[in-house]
Amino acid sequence: MPEKRRKFDREFREGAVRLVNETGKSVAAAARDLGINEGTLGNWVALDRQAREGTKGLNTGDIEELKRLRAENAELRMERDVLKRSVVLWVKEATK
């Protein structure tokens, strides 16, 4: 008979990852304390590390600003590309 899978909300997952990161407990010990599978917690910790890669030494405010600036940069690049295309079309029309 198949086991019913437990669902964990985002807050629980974040708290479990914080427990491992801030207390220095091993994944196995923290999983045992929380009553969850070691592999599940290990996956959550690995995903958190991947998400934080490249942000060492930055506080949360800096990370938020970096995200905002990257989004703004992408928007500005898109606007620049649109302007380039419109100039090309304008020049083609003018030289006819």
9-63 tens-digit pLDDT: 999 999 999 999 999 889 999 999 999 999 999 999 988 888 777 666 777 788 8
CB 44 within 8 A of CB 21: no
Which residue is listed with tokens 């590390």? Answer: 49
Give the DSSP letter of residue 9: -
The pLDDT of residue 60: 78
Alpha helices (H) along the chain = 10-23, 27-34, 38-52, 60-94
CB 31 within 8 A of CB 38: yes
Token pair listed for 47:
């995903």
| Report field, pTM of the whole predicted structure over 0.75 | no
The pLDDT of residue 37: 92
For the chain, first and last CA: distance in Å?
75
pLDDT tens digits along 69-86: 999 999 999 999 999 999
CB 17 within 8 A of CB 44: yes
The pLDDT of residue 54: 66
